[in-house]
Every structure is written in structure tokens, then in C-alpha cells.
Amino acid sequence: MQPGPHLDNPVDTLLEKIEIDGTAELGGKLHQFAADLYPTCRSITGNGIRQTLRAIQQRIPLQIFEVPTGTAVFDWTVPKEWNISDAYIRAADGRRVVDFRSHNLHVMSYSSPIHAVLPLETIRPHLHTIPEYPDWIPYRTSYYQENWGFCLTYNQILSLEDGDYEVCIDSTLEDGHLTYGECYLPGRSSEEVLISCHTCHPSLANDNLSGVSVAAFLAEHLAGQDLRYSYRFLFIPGTIGAITWLAQNREKAAQIRHGLVLTCIGDSGGFHYKKSRRGNAEIDRAVACVLKDCGERFEILDFSPYGYDERQYCSPGFNLAVGCLMRSVWGTFPEYHTSADNLEFIQPLSLAKSLRACAAIVNLLEKNRRYLNQNPCCEPQLGKRNLYKSTGGEPVGQQIHARLWTLNMSDGEHSLLDIAERSGLPFETIAGAAEALCQSGLLLPLP
Amino acid sequence: MQPGPHLDNPVDTLLEKIEIDGTAELGGKLHQFAADLYPTCRSITGNGIRQTLRAIQQRIPLQIFEVPTGTAVFDWTVPKEWNISDAYIRAADGRRVVDFRSHNLHVMSYSSPIHAVLPLETIRPHLHTIPEYPDWIPYRTSYYQENWGFCLTYNQILSLEDGDYEVCIDSTLEDGHLTYGECYLPGRSSEEVLISCHTCHPSLANDNLSGVSVAAFLAEHLAGQDLRYSYRFLFIPGTIGAITWLAQNREKAAQIRHGLVLTCIGDSGGFHYKKSRRGNAEIDRAVACVLKDCGERFEILDFSPYGYDERQYCSPGFNLAVGCLMRSVWGTFPEYHTSADNLEFIQPLSLAKSLRACAAIVNLLEKNRRYLNQNPCCEPQLGKRNLYKSTGGEPVGQQIHARLWTLNMSDGEHSLLDIAERSGLPFETIAGAAEALCQSGLLLPLP
Amino acid sequence: MQPGPHLDNPVDTLLEKIEIDGTAELGGKLHQFAADLYPTCRSITGNGIRQTLRAIQQRIPLQIFEVPTGTAVFDWTVPKEWNISDAYIRAADGRRVVDFRSHNLHVMSYSSPIHAVLPLETIRPHLHTIPEYPDWIPYRTSYYQENWGFCLTYNQILSLEDGDYEVCIDSTLEDGHLTYGECYLPGRSSEEVLISCHTCHPSLANDNLSGVSVAAFLAEHLAGQDLRYSYRFLFIPGTIGAITWLAQNREKAAQIRHGLVLTCIGDSGGFHYKKSRRGNAEIDRAVACVLKDCGERFEILDFSPYGYDERQYCSPGFNLAVGCLMRSVWGTFPEYHTSADNLEFIQPLSLAKSLRACAAIVNLLEKNRRYLNQNPCCEPQLGKRNLYKSTGGEPVGQQIHARLWTLNMSDGEHSLLDIAERSGLPFETIAGAAEALCQSGLLLPLP
């Protein structure tokens, strides 16, 4: 048997490394990375996202791109760049009753500048609260319609007395750039796996520092490895970022074979995977196969054209095999888009297990191929090759069953993922069987 | 964008008209039409069906056809024409103990003439009752075997004393014609939608004056409209009528793209739709999609080769996409084929809602087509076209979701019905989204 | 209509014969045949299997094949022939504490010869028991690794006192032959139905004298009949026998269209059918269709590459349409591979009903074909052919429904099995309808 070219090593290394680190230690690192990025006031353009990308660049080889305001990207136009240095509402007594410096959610993202003294009644339509959660600050944006606004707790608004207030938003909304980061890890094939996460939200932890942190650590682990696929990690502003990237990288997009959008992946909920538009792409089956054996609750959701950047990747002109991996689904938990989506809302252990699931998915994609049984007529005599008894700690039955399944189904038409699905056995067990059978010369990988 | 040629108007008009009339008012009209036809003694041939067709002709442009006795129609032969003027059983005291003039069900349909005085024991084998429902008269026929018979209530038969009775059936069974009516409404395409109802039963309301009434009103509403499909309404005797029409109209039958048999559609039960032999024809999916959102109970039944005239339309030599829309399924309710299937058994409201469902099915067929997203790469910016907020009374979410679904799936391969099915949204909402997107130039109808 | 060539007769004869015999009488015969074979000490080679095949030869035309030790068969080699004349463990007092003459399970199959006096501690690793069932003797083999061993009840081992014992296994393990039997019944077509059962187990009744008995009686019933398919019955040692046959009969294997492995088919449990690797082969559907109407509990199991000789027939180089029919599934009942799998564990009635199910499966395969409705446009007039009323004891509805279904679906694309599946009616009812319709000239069998 000719061995497959560096078949399993790189990603096994990753999974093993995760095991060696221990999920607790790894989780701590993932959470710390999110914590470091948490205070930054990000938006879809501006210095907040630039600063965030530079922090990610400390861990991984990230190329940062700047796309000028006004650039046409399909049906859209790259907007003006927004920056902010201060914002407040000051009472007559000089006290800042709402203060951007205490929480960057206090300003509606993309607020145009204002500095005026106004009576409360005039200000009120610009104030946003969540009466149901009177201590939480909502997150609001107005990207494509010039406006200004403040977000505050419901209790704050209750304490405001009538009268005049000094309203100040020291922001700029000017021609500039849209900034995004790209980490490309070349593999043996030019076919790509895309990992995309939106990096445009201010101090919100699950949405989406969780995705940013998991993606950055995954890239860090894969960097420098001998990989089958090439990997492209995108750290981009939501919607306009994905549209901009797709508009300017149509040839690269055509190389994408599998992809994941990572979002809301650090909370304590079970996994949710939203399938690609294709619905039965290899990535869809790979994620389902990994989650089935991950030891956590999970649910597979059908594609819908509403959500995060899978909307763009799965638009009919691209129809890429890109799904969205989450824990709790955006919009379904009350903390979503509020100040309660904070560093306590995301859990180190959840982050580590999310990274582990991503690594297992990558592992599956790297290893999934078709083999050809070299002894297709009747079973080969496994006993004389010492393959009819278990070799490791696994229960005898499962390991031998995996070998029999892999031999039986390796007719050149079925991949290891097909075999894992039909047998109900974990992919790793099937992949291990394939490796053992290759070593015995009973199986050969197909090109 | 070039607008689709008169895309939605005609049938919207129908649905709107039904709304304007109000279901109560419309139901009253439908019921009155059935009531007018109720007393007539119909059979598969003869003056009863002629008189019925002339009444329908008052409402719609109906062409009446006469096919001579003895005409070969596939494996069958058009039978003799049957007419009846009187029938009775008279007791020795001169009293009519069974009298055709009081209910035309009292005579077995196609009874041969007889006039004789016979002892009760000789008459008895010719008497039909329903002991379980002692006040109901059964409906019996003997089309293809010459015989005579009376149907009476079980209580009537109990009251008969032994002795001689004068038995008289003043009927004729002679060479004549089979009569049926056809209303053809030409549309822009020569492809046809068939609506077929059997018109051969005597004083039975649900089976099938309900179908006759709904079909006649549907034809009346569609007449003169600018329609995509051509529509053919058949008012025919059951079995032999459908066979005769198919035998004499094979070229027309080849134009039928979708079809419905309407029967037992006026009672207070929920809808039942029996699928065509094909099982997944557009009509099958259209009816299921409409019933899902009709607000009434419904059940979809698999095709079987037993039932009404779908048996003929779905015979393997034709295999037309014709299903059968019912409320209660024939044969499953005790009133079926008895005098209890009377004008009280059918409900104005049920008739109106049945007509409404038929109109919605026609509406779906008329509007169902494929569109092409003119902006297939990434989402178009709906906001700048004022399409990202709801425009009417519908909940915001559903309308915008419908637009996103319609854009996403309009890749030239999926029809609006495909999109409604995959999204789970009502067809009308999807059709509305398609219309709005066409107006914005984002979508173009495919030819 | 030209009649189909001897369409239904032979197998109907079988089913009728089973009815005439009565299941009780037939069951008695099946059980007696198993009982006659029970005492023989069989293994995968040797005189036990030879003697068994000669007994089968008394009932059916069985050809016995001898394949020399050392013959290469795919990845395997025909092993040495094993024979045994005596074996015991004798205590110091001269008493045989374990005695092959009292139960042939007492010796591990393929034990190499030994004659020595050894202390109990040295013997102990060669003793096998079942502590959970202290009165049962386990069944153990060591075909491909030279070794010796005794199997005894747990109570026996408890009674053994320390000390020296005379250990004797008077066996030979020498170059010889692998022996198997083949009964070939030629039919009108060279396409074959395979019935395979392993015939290598010593005194174990359900596994697999039940299969041997049912297969032999089935062959006896089919012998000399005018059959559509040719039938090949294999009585072979498990695994190595199937591999040997396949290796030496590749051309014959290519003729196999349908096949069944029969095993564990005599106990009182419901049926289990394990589908072929193809999963939707005609045999898979035929068995499911027959079991649905057999009046017993049953379960359909997916294929897996572990089990009995279907493992070999369904290896990817052959991928034959061979499933495995069982009652209780091997390995799932405690008596499996113990002395408790004895003649009381198998039931005459179960054996008879298993034979009946096999006959019904053969019947279905023989009769299953496609017909062409000679009157495909609309229904033919069944009444004038006296086919619209029931002709036998069956309920009217079912028989007429079967005729309508058979007419409707006989478009040249659907087999009687397709029609039975879609209609939900028993295959025999559909086949009866096809026969009646052929007699009326309404249906013609397709070649």
C-alpha cells in the first residue's frame, strides 16, 4: 500500500493539542481573548474594527484590507467611515446622565454628530430602552439612514426629569474605508474551506466576540500545518463586509467547497447548526455527524434566507456550501443585542467545546475521502492480520464493526462520511478503521 | 422590468369579489341554486339531466351535447335513455303507499316499466330500505341490468300488510341520448384546467348538487376574465359521462394540465383532497398548499382507483393530473345515498368556503410561475427600495421573510409554489412578495 | 389473451400442500428432521457435516462437494479437516467428570489432540463456562488458531477439586477436505434464487438445524416443479463455506437475482428480516410484503456487515441481493450458542410457519411480474365480465379493489409487488386479481 499523502496528521495534532491543553485551560484562553477585545467600540467601519483586527493579527497571519467609501459592491455601496471619541447627555447640574465612556452601547452605532442643548421632550424620540429588562442597555444601529440616538437602561430614563439637557455625540461620518481581515492558510489543494465571522459589534460578547475568538484560535492551530484544503478565515463587518468581500473576490469564492459562519458560539446553550441553502452539502452532513457525537445537545435547522452572512454566501448567484454554527440562536435569547450579552454570558468551557467541535469538523473534512477495498470479494481474513480483536481502549465490538463497515462500503462510491452515516458509528472510529485497513494493505485511498 | 402580461388581476378579482359578497351572502346564493335543482329527478340520461343543464345555462355559457344510445365509448356503450313520469304502489283501498310524486328516490333509477297487481311477497324482493335509519329512503340504481324497484323507508315497509298491490312504474327505457354540458373558458394558453362534477343524481344535495353549484359559480366568476389557462367545466353523468367525454375528446384531454373533480363539497365537515394518480402533480401540491392556510380542518388522501370520475381521468391511458376535492368523503357518512342527503345537510357557509378554496386553488395555478432574481449575487439592498419594512397590515416579519425567500429561491428553477412549500409561508404572501419585487425590478417572470 | 406460460401453478401447489398437510403435521416433520440431525458433532469440516449432508440427501437431490485442505479461496485457505472420536476429563477416581459422549458441546470445536495428566490449575485456562446460566454448556470454537479446550456447566466446574486430571481429546487435525452440499433445481430461466444455510454447528437446534430443516423441506417441495427461476440451495459451513463456494462459483453467483440466508428460524419469537446491502432489492421488498400479511410479529432490520453468510454474499465485490431471514436474532437470546439451544427451544409450529413464509416469498418472486392493461383508457366495464362482484369467499371490497388497482397500475412500469405495496393489499390478492383479469383478456403479462 502506498500511504495517503500525509493523511491524518495535521488535524489530529490539533485535536490532540486541544486535549493536552485541557478544555478548562483552553477555555480560559479563549475567554481572555474575548475579554481583551470586549471594551473596544466597533462598528461596520472605523478604528474600532481596525484595532480589533490588529489584536487578531497578534495571533495569526492576518492581512488587513481597506476598501474606500463609495466603492460599488453589487447592489450596495461601501458607506462612510464612522468614528466616535465621546458622547454624553449632561444634565443642568453638569452631571453626565448618559455617558459613552461608561459603556459604548450608550450611543446608537453610526450616530451622526450633534452638540446642542435640547429639552427632554425633543431628545426622547432619540432614546432607546428595554422596559422588560430595566437594567439592560439595548444595542441599536442606523447604518443606512443618517440619525443619532442614545441607548440607556429603562431605569435611567425613568430618573430623567423634564428640562434642558446638553446632548453631545462627538462622532465623524466621513469618506474613509471599510476594513476587514483575511487569514489565508494554503493547503495542498486550492479548494478552500471558509470560516467567516462578523467582527463589527461593539461590547457584545456572544455576538460575536465568541465567533471571533473561536475562529482566531482555530486559524492559529491550523497555521503552518500540512493541510489538504486551503483555509480562508474572514473577520468582516456583517452584511456589507460579506457583500464587499464577495464582490471583490469572485474567483476566490468559486474555490470555496465548504464553509461555516461562526456566531453566538460561546454561551451555555446547546449547539444549533443552520444548514446551507443546498441542504445536503458535505459541510451540512459533516457538522451533523460531528454534533451527533459531541456529547452535547444539538439541533439541526433548515436553511432560511434570514440570519447572518450565510445570507450572502447562500444567495443564488453564489449558492455556496456555507452553513452557520451557533450555540443559542441569535434573536431567541433575551440577552441578544443588549448589554447583558457580556463577558459573563459567555463561558470558557462552552468556547473550548465550540473550538473542539470546529476542529472535529475540520478534521472530518480533511479526512473524508473514498477508499477502495483491495479485497472486495468476501471479507478478508482479519484474524490473520490481527484486526479481528480490538487494539486500543475502545470496546471491541465498535472497532471491529467499523472495520467491517469500512471494508463493505469502500466500493469506490462511498466516502468515510457516507460510511459513518450509514453505520451510525462515530466518524473518528470509521477514520481509524480506514487507517488500520490501509496499513494492512486492505484499503487504498482513491485520488 | 417588463411587467408580466396581466399577471394577477383576473383571479384576484374573483377572490376579492368573494370577499365583497361576503361568505354568508355568497353561501345563500350557492344554496339557493342547489335548492332550485333539488326536486328534479335526474339520472345518467334523460330529461332530468337536460333540465338541470338548462338551469346551469342560465348562469354560464354552457354547451349541451347529446350522444346517441349505442355509441361505443372505449369498453362501454352509451345506454338507452331513461325517463319516468310516475310511479307508485297502490293498496287495495286505492291509497298510494309508495309515491314517486312525494320523493323521486322512491323509484330505483333506471327501473324498467311495470304495471301489474302483485301480491306483497312477489313485490318484496324489489323493495329497498335502510333498517338502521327507519325514516330514510335509500338511493338505488340499476343502470346496466334491466330491473325494477322501489325504495322506501323501513317504517313504510313495516306498515305494509300482506295482500295484493298495484305496482306501477311509468318509465321508458328507449334509444335516445346521453346528455352532458361543457363550459369552455378560453385563456391565453391552450393548456387547460378541468373542473368536473357529476350531475346525474336525483334529489341528493351533497352528492352532488354541492359540486354542481360550486362549479357553476366558479365558472360564472371566471367567465370573461383574462385568464392564463383555459378552463373546461364538465357537468356530466358519473362514470359513463366521463368515459364518453374522454372517448370523444382525446385531443382536448391531452391539453389538460390540472384538474379537480368536485363532489360532496357542501356539508359541514372539513376538507378532504384525494391526490391524483401521479401523487405529486402541481394540482396535488397546489391544493395542499391552499388547504394548509384555509383555516379549516383538512386531510390529504392518497390516490386510489375507486371513487368518482377521477377514476377515469387517472386511468393509465390518460393519467391526468386530476384530484378530487371533497368535504366529507362519499360513503363515510350515513346520509350518503339516502334521502337524508337533503338541503339541510348542505350548509351555505360550507358551500361558500368551498368556492373560496376552489378560487384560491385557481388563483395559485394562475399565479404559479418561476421568476429570475435580477440581483442574484448577495442580497439586494431592500432598504433603499423601501422593501425592508412592511407595507401593509401583515406582520413585518412575514412579509420581509417572503421577499427574502422569493429572492433567494428565484434562481430559475423554483416556482412560487416551491418557495411557499419550502418557506412554509402562505402562497399569497409569496405571490405578493414576487409582485413587489417585480415592481422594484428585482425579479423578472420567466416565460 | 395468450396465457402466461404456466404462470402460477407450481408454487401454488406448494402453498396448498402446506395447507393440506396442516401446520401442526408439517411442523412435526420439520422438527423430527432437526431431531434426527441434532446428536451429530458437526464442525466446519469433517465427518459430522458429511453425515449431515447424507441425511439431507435422503430428502432432496443434493450434490456433495469436497474441497481439499489448502485450497486458496480469495483471502482465505481451506483449513485442515477436523475429526474427533472421544474426549474427556477423568478424575483420579476414574470417573469422567467431563465427557464428550454425553454432549458434543463439551469439546471446543477444532480442539487439537491432547492426552496428558495435568493439575487442575493448568487445565483451568482451557475450561469455558457460563456463570450466569450455571446449568448450560457454552459453544466455543478455535478454527484458525490451534488450541484445545473443554466447555462445561458452571456447576460442573464448581464441583471440581484441586488435583491431577487425565485430559484426553482424541481428535485429528489433518489435511482433508471442506465438505458442502448443493441442491440445484433448474427453472425456466437461468436466473437463480439462492437459499443458503450454515450446516456446521454441532448440537445446536435453532442455530442452525432450524435453517437446515426449513431449507431442506423447501427444496423438497420445489423439486420437480415447473419453476420460473432456478433455485440453488447451499448447505455449507459458515463463513469459510460461503467464501469457498463464491470463490469457486463466480459465474453461478452472477446468476443470483434474489437470495435468503436462513438461520435461527425455529424459535417462538417473531420474524426478523435483515435487508440486503442494496436495501431496496426485490427480495427485501418481497420479504417485507409477505411478513406484513403473515399474521405474526415481524421487524425489518437494516443491513450491517456483521452476521451470517450474507456478509459474504453482500461483500462489495458481489453485492448480491441476499438478505437474512430469522426469528430471534442470533446473539440476542441467552440460549444462543449454548446447550440450551436444544430441541425444546425450537417449536414445530414455528418451523412450519417459517417454511410457509419462505414458500410465500418464493411464490411472490415466481409470480411477480409486470402486466399491461389492454384497456388502458378509462376503466373497462367489469360488470359485463362478471368481475364487479366478488367471486370467492374474500370480502367483496378487497377483491374488486385489487382488480381496480391492478388495472390502474398495469401501465408496463409497475410490477405486482409495486401494486401490492402501493395499494396496501396482500400480494396474493393482487396476484389473484391479475389472474382473473388475464382470463378476461383485460391484462397481458409482459415478457
The rounded distance, in Å, linking the Cα atoms of C267 and C210 is 8
Does residue C10 surpass a pLDDT of 60?
A: no
Mutate to test the interface with A, among B373, B374, B377, B411 (most CBs of A within 10 A): B377
Closest chain A residue to the Cα of B382, Cα to Cα: A75
Confidence of residue A3 (pLDDT cuts 50, 70, 90): very low
Tens of pLDDT, residues C145-182? 899 999 999 999 999 999 999 999 999 999 999 999 99
Q: Max alpha carbon distance in chain B (Å)? A: 92
Are residues A390 and A401 in contact, defined by beta-carbon separation less than 8 angstroms?
no
At a CB cut-off of 8 Å and minimum separation 6, what does A433 contact?
A399, A402, A403, A405, A406
b/e sequence C235-267, b meaning 16+ C-beta within 10 Å? bbbbbbbbbbbbbebeebbebbbbbbbbbbbbb
For the segment B18-47, the average pLDDT, to the nearest whole number, is 91
Round to whole Å and give the CA distance between B59 and B233: 13
pLDDT at position A88, please?
A: 98
Mean pLDDT of chain C: 94
Which chains does chain A touch, 3 or more C-beta pairs < 8 A? B, C
Q: Which residues of A touch B383 (CB under 8 A)?
A: 144-145
Q: Residues C263, C324: contact at Cβ < 8 Å?
A: yes
Residue to substitute from B315, B319, B332, interface C, most C β-carbons within 10 A: B315
Most B-contacting residue of A75, A251, A278, A311 (CB-CB within 10 A), to test interface? A75
Q: Say whether pLDDT at C8 is over 50.
A: no
pLDDT at A13: 54
What does the pLDDT read at residue A23?
A: 80
Q: Residue A144: pLDDT band by 50, 70, 90 thresholds?
A: confident
Q: Is the pLDDT of residue A322 over 50?
A: yes
**C317–A408 CB contact, under 8 Å:** no
Give the total residue count for chain B. Answer: 447
Contact C184, C232 (CB under 8 A): yes
- Tell me if B315 and C401 make a contact (CB, 8 A cut-off): no
Select the residue of C373, C381, C384 nearest B316 (Cβ to Cβ): C373
Do B124 and B154 touch, CB atoms closer than 8 A?
A: no
Mean per-residue pLDDT for A76-105? 97
Distances from the Cα of B215 to the Cα of B191, B272, C211, angstroms: 19, 17, 63
Q: Which helix (DSSP H) or strand (DSSP E) does residue A219 occupy? A: helix A211-222
Amino acid at B261: V
Question: Is it the case that residue B18 has pLDDT exceeding 90?
Answer: no
Instruction: Strands of B237-328 (E only): list them.
Output: 256-262, 271-274, 298-301, 322-326
Helices B211-222, B348-367: inter-axial angle, 10-degree rounding: 50
Are the CB atoms for B199 and B53 separated by under 8 Å?
yes
- For residue range C304-318, what is the model confidence (pLDDT) as tens digits? 999 999 999 999 999
Q: Which residues of B touch A317 (CB under 8 A)?
A: 373, 376-378
pLDDT at A85: 96
Nearest to C316 among A373, A384, A423 (CB): A373
> C205: which DSSP letter?
I
Distance between terminal CA atoms of chain A?
A: 14
User: Chain C residues with CB inside 8 Å of B314's CB?
Assistant: 408
CA pseudo-torsion sign C89, C93, C94, C99? negative
According to DSSP, the residues that pair with B444 across neighbouring strands are B372
Q: Sort out which chain C residues have CB atoms less than 8 A from A383's CB and list them.
A: 144-145
Answer whether B316 sits within 8 Å of C411, measured CB to CB: yes
Answer yes or no: do A315 and B410 touch at CB < 8 A: no
Higher pLDDT, C348 or C5: C348
Contact yes or no for B304 and C384 at CB 8 A: no
Show which residues on chain C lie within 8 Å of chain A, measured between beta carbons. Answer: 73-76, 144-145, 239, 242-243, 246-247, 277, 304-306, 311-312, 314-319
Alpha-carbon gap, residue B105 to B126, rounded angstroms: 14
pLDDT above 60 for B2: no
Classify residue C382 as left (phi > 0), alpha (psi -120 to 50) or beta. alpha
Cell numbers standing for residue C433: 386479481
Helix (H) or strand (E) holding B398: helix B396-409
The nearest CA of chain C is from the CA of B415 a distance in Å of 29
d(CA B222, CA B185): 8
Q: Is residue B246 predicted with pLDDT exceeding 60?
A: yes
Which tens digits make up the pLDDT trace of B275-327? 999 999 999 999 999 999 999 999 999 999 999 999 999 999 999 999 999 99
Grid coordinates of C197:
444455510
- The fraction of chain C above a pLDDT of 70, given in percent, is 94
C415 forms beta bridges with: C370
In the predicted model, what is the mean pLDDT of residues A191-201? 98
In 3D, which of A446, A208, A190 has the Cα closest to residue A337? A208
Average pLDDT, chain A: 94
Q: How far apart are CA A241 and CA A239, in angstroms?
A: 5
Candidates A372, A378, A384: best to mutate against C (most CBs of C within 10 A) is A378
Residue in chain B nearest A250 by alpha carbon: B377
CB atoms C246 and A377 under 8 Å = yes
Indicate the pLDDT class of residue C21, thresholds 50, 70 and 90: low
Question: B17 to chain C nearest CA, in Å?
Answer: 38
Cell of B272: 378532504
Chains that touch B (3 or more CB pairs under 8 A): A, C
Contact C75 A407 (CB under 8 A): no
Of all helices (H) and strands (E), which one includes residue B373?
strand B370-373
Read off the pLDDT band of C389 (50, 70, 90). Answer: confident
Please compute the mean of the pLDDT values over residues B107-134 and round it to a whole number.
97
- Nearest chain B Cα distance for residue C406, angstroms: 9
Whether pLDDT at C7 is above 90:
no
With 80 as the cut, is the pLDDT of residue C290 above it? yes
* Nearest-angstrom CA–CA distance, A140 and A126: 11
Q: Cα distance from C315 to chain A (closest Cα, Å)?
A: 5
pTM here is 0.93
Strand partners, B168: B88, B115
- Cβ neighbours of A17 (radius 10 Å): 12
* Rounded distance between C-alpha atoms, residue A375 and residue A444, angstroms: 10
Place of cell 370523444: B248
Q: What is the DSSP letter of B326?
A: E
Which of C373, C378, C401 to mutate to test binding with chain B, by most B CBs within 10 Å of its CB? C378
CB-CB neighbors (< 8 A) of A409 in chain C? 305, 316
Residue C20 confidence (pLDDT): 64
Unique residue bearing C-alpha cell 367483496: C396
A210 close to A354: Cβ distance less than 8 angstroms: yes
What does the pLDDT read at residue B24?
Answer: 83
**pLDDT tops 60 at residue B254:** yes
Q: Is A349 exposed, middle or buried (0-12, 13-18, 19+ CB in 10 A)?
A: middle
- The pLDDT value recorded for residue A394 is 57
Q: Does residue A376 sit in helix, strand or coil?
A: coil
Q: What angle do CA A147, A151, A157 make, to 5 degrees?
A: 120
In chain B, what residues touch C377 (CB-CB under 8 Å)? 74, 246-247, 315, 317-318
Measure CB to CB from residue C404 to each of B239, B306, B318 and give the nearest one: B306
Radius of gyration of chain A (CA): 25
* Each residue's pLDDT tens digit, C73-117: 999 999 999 999 999 999 999 999 999 999 999 999 999 999 999
pLDDT tens figures, B184-203: 999 999 999 999 999 999 99
Asked if residue A117 lies in contact with residue A166, where contact means CB atoms within 8 angstroms, the answer is yes
Contact yes or no for A76 and B378 at CB 8 A:
yes
Model confidence at C17, in pLDDT bands (50, 70, 90)? low
Residues C395-447: tens digit of each pLDDT: 668 999 999 999 999 999 999 999 999 999 999 999 999 999 999 999 999 98
